[in-house]
Amino acid sequence: MKRLVNSVCCTALLALAVALPHASIAEEITKTWAMAEFGEPLYKDGIEHWPYANPDAPKGGTVVLGGYGSFDSLNTFILKGSFPRSIGLTLDSLMVNSADELSVVYGMIAETVEYPEDKSWAVFNLRPEARFSDGTPITAHDFVFSFDTINKHGRPLLKSFYGEIESVEALEDHKLKFSFTTKDSMKPLMAAAGMSATSAEYWKDKDISKTYLDPAPASGAYRIASIEPGRSITYERIEDYWAKDLNLSRGLNNYDTIRYDYYRDLEVMHEAFKSGAIDYREENSSKRWATGYKTDDVEKGDIILDTPADNKPQGIQAFMLNSRRSPFDDQRVRKAFNYLYDFETTRRTVLYDQYERVNSFFPNSDFGASGVPTAEEIAVLEPYRDQLAPEVFTDAYVSPVTDGSGNNRKQVREALKLFKEAGWTLSEGKMMKDGKQMKVEVLLRDAGSQRVYALFVQGMKKVGIDAEFRVVDSSQYQVRTDDFDFDIVSVLFNFFPPPGPELRTYYGSEAADERGSGNYVGVKNPVVDALIEEVVVAPTLEDLKIKTRALDRVLLSLDHVVPQFYNANFRLAYWNRFGRPETMPKYGTLFLNAWWVDDELDNKLDLDR
């Protein structure tokens, strides 16, 4: 099936002006099946199938994966409750991303999209064959209902993606119009294209503002077959899935059944994988990767280990210091804590030299700052010079570096100077101020993380800080972080390239006091706010990169975080029962999307499936 990108010719403009409200006769309307935020789509002239999909891949088989923590709701809209992150298997969106490109989308539920030259609105033409799993049609009214639900009840991060959408209306059952608060920007169009819909008909006599465990009709290739709340969730492939013959679906969605079993202990989950109870893992522990896969099954080739490059831009992983409360309401204290983190010794002794230090809020990408500021970055920062530290304009940001020996005396001396400037003194082995010892709690939801972060806590104790770990279960952790009830948490931010409106909920002043936002540290800074808005409206990709690098430098200068580490490679472990396409995508592994169960390989393994 071939879909073409085209611009409507001048002779059709009059008809479009009648069909699409507010379209000027003088406007040129683009009608396309593919959109790129910047540049041109790779596959603008249509494709028979994705190059990283095997259209002849067999269907069938069961896959079992591990989930960490628990879940108590299937409602993805609201802040209350914890939903299984795998629920995206049940959802299709108006347009879908290519795994070979960043911020490029192609028509899924929407066959085409139309928009004017000034990009002030967009109309998505929905495929009339699109259906929910209960057989009811997916219509423009379902998207209007979903957008209204997000506005009224949505989680802060979810709402942040749609901040530039002024209104959504159903022009017809299969014609959906978005109006934007911006002009000449593709970003809100891309956000609209990524929207999924829930069934307005299903929810007409239910309260969508509450948690629930009854599955709503699915719009995607899978539906929820069964759940054991907090223990497991099973998805089944929909045999008569409406898009199964669509070019964008050919060779994808190959497993009959996908089950997630939940574990509250990562080591137990790892042992479950080695015993054959779990099929595939993306390992996140350097220790387990270095020492936990020395088994006969690996030697025999029954378990495959692989480390392909991870080309995806990454979000920062860091200790988030909560500036809403003492002692982190003082920047000097926050900066001192960065000196107490001996990354080089941690990497040598705990991380098996598998990680690089994070020195950016946008690591592994072109969006983060590196080296000294460029002339272009300085030009962006110049209007705010009197509000910024002088070194923002002159120095490269580099987190404190130790010699890796464990004797970080120089860094400790720098920390003690900063504590003293902030009014804290080391007295009889205790860090004191106003007769009280500094007390800090590191909140964790995984007890195993204590091993990785132990040197940091030991560094605090060496300078007289009453420091301790507090390990809580995943539901309590969610509540406490939503309420900003912590001193320090370790967080890995999701990254949505290129950066856009979601930056407001991560670092914007308004989000600092909004329960459940991503602004864990409590950033309230007018320069950060202004630069975020400049990023959101950046007219070109190069301009956006310059502005995110400038923003990066400002965020780093505020010392709200202690940057940790990142890995530029996946660490994959899986039982040798799968086939996969010869061509792999540039971004990601697509294990769930494009791999399949190979019966010949599967029959060689003694696994109960």
- pLDDT tens digits, 212-258: 999 999 999 999 999 999 899 999 999 999 999 999 999 999 999 99
pLDDT of residue 24: 46
Task: Identify the CATH assignment for 1-279+577-609 out of 3.30.200.20, 3.40.190.10, 3.20.20.220, 3.30.565.10.
Answer: 3.40.190.10
Q: What mean pLDDT is predicted for residues 118-141?
A: 98
What are 515-533's pLDDT values in tens digits?
A: 999 999 999 999 999 999 9
H/E element, 536: helix 526-536
Classify each residue of 530-560 as buried b or exposed e, where b means 16 or more C-beta atoms within 10 Å of its C-beta. Answer: ebbebbbbbeebebbbbbbbbbbbbbbbbbb
Strand partners, 123: 114, 177
pLDDT of residue 2: 33
**Tokens matching residue 118:** 């000034």
Residue 470: HSE in the Cβ half-sphere, 13 Å Cα cutoff: 16
Which of 283, 256, 216 lies closest to 66 in space, CA to CA? 283
- DSSP secondary-structure letter at 569? B
pLDDT at 20 over 50: no
Which of 89, 87, 65 lies closest to 75 in space, CA to CA? 87
Distance CA 339, CA 328 (A): 14
pLDDT of residue 157: 92
H/E element, 281: strand 280-282
**Tokens matching residue 494:** 């999701």
pLDDT at 305 over 80: yes
pLDDT at 23 over 80: no
pLDDT of residue 531: 98
The four Cα atoms 447, 361, 523, 469 give a dihedral, to 10 degrees, of 10
Q: Which CATH class is domain 317-566?
A: alpha beta
Q: What mean pLDDT is predicted for residues 418-437?
A: 97
∠ CA 153-159-161, rounded to 5°: 160
How far does the chain reach from its first CA to its final CA, in angstroms? 35
Are 369 and 553 within 8 A, CB to CB?
yes
Query: In percent, how much of the chain has pLDDT > 90?
Result: 93
Phi-psi category of residue 298: left, alpha or beta, with phi > 0 → left and psi -120 to 50 → alpha: alpha
Which of 337, 299, 604 lies closest to 463 in space, CA to CA? 337
Distance CA 382, CA 533 (A): 16
Are 287 and 350 within 8 A, CB to CB?
yes
pTM (2 d.p.): 0.90
Confidence of residue 46 (pLDDT cuts 50, 70, 90): confident
Cβ neighbours of residue 188 closer than 8 Å, sequence gap 6 or more? 119, 164, 165, 178, 180, 181, 182
pLDDT at 13 over 80: no
**Tokens matching residue 144:** 């209007």
What are 550-594's pLDDT values in tens digits?
A: 999 999 999 999 999 999 999 999 999 999 999 999 999 999 999
C-alpha pair distances (Å), 130 with each of 23, 76, 171, 219, 247: 27, 21, 17, 8, 14
**Domain extent listing, the chain:** 1-279+577-609, 317-566
pLDDT at 19 over 60: no
Distance CA 474, CA 174 (A): 41
Confidence of residue 462 (pLDDT cuts 50, 70, 90): very high
Mean pLDDT of the chain: 94
Distance CA 396, CA 386 (A): 19
Strand partners, 430: 427
pLDDT of residue 257: 98
Phi-psi category of residue 61: left, alpha or beta, with phi > 0 → left and psi -120 to 50 → alpha: left
**Tokens matching residue 27:** 């406007």
C-alpha pair distances (Å), 248 with each of 7, 98, 197, 448: 22, 9, 19, 41
State the residue for tokens 């997916």.
Answer: 138
Are 98 and 41 within 8 A, CB to CB?
yes
pLDDT of residue 253: 98
Which of 565, 483, 466 lies closest to 522 in space, CA to CA? 483
Packed helices 331-340 and 449-462: angle between N→C axes, nearest 10 degrees: 120
C-alpha pair distances (Å), 481 with each of 67, 320, 556: 20, 11, 22
What are 336-380's pLDDT values in tens digits?
A: 999 999 999 999 999 999 999 999 999 999 999 999 999 999 999
Which of 92, 88, 125, 51 lies closest to 242 in space, CA to CA? 92
Q: What is the DSSP code string of 487-529?
A: SEEEEE----SSP-THHHHHH-TGGGGSTT-S-TT----HHHH
Distance CA 143, CA 191 (A): 13
pLDDT of residue 26: 53
Are 74 and 203 within 8 A, CB to CB?
no
Which of 592, 548, 597 lies closest to 576 in space, CA to CA? 597
Which of 221, 251, 245 lies closest to 1 in space, CA to CA? 245
pLDDT at 17 over 60: no
pLDDT of residue 609: 54
pLDDT at 21 over 70: no
Q: What mean pLDDT is predicted for residues 482-509?
A: 95
Distance CA 339, CA 419 (A): 11
Distance CA 570, CA 305 (A): 10
Query: In percent, how much of the chain has pLDDT > 70?
Result: 95
3-state SS, 188-253, equals HHHHHHCCECCCHHHHCCCCCCCCCCCCCCCCCCEEEEEEECCCEEEEEECCCCCCCCCCCCCCCC
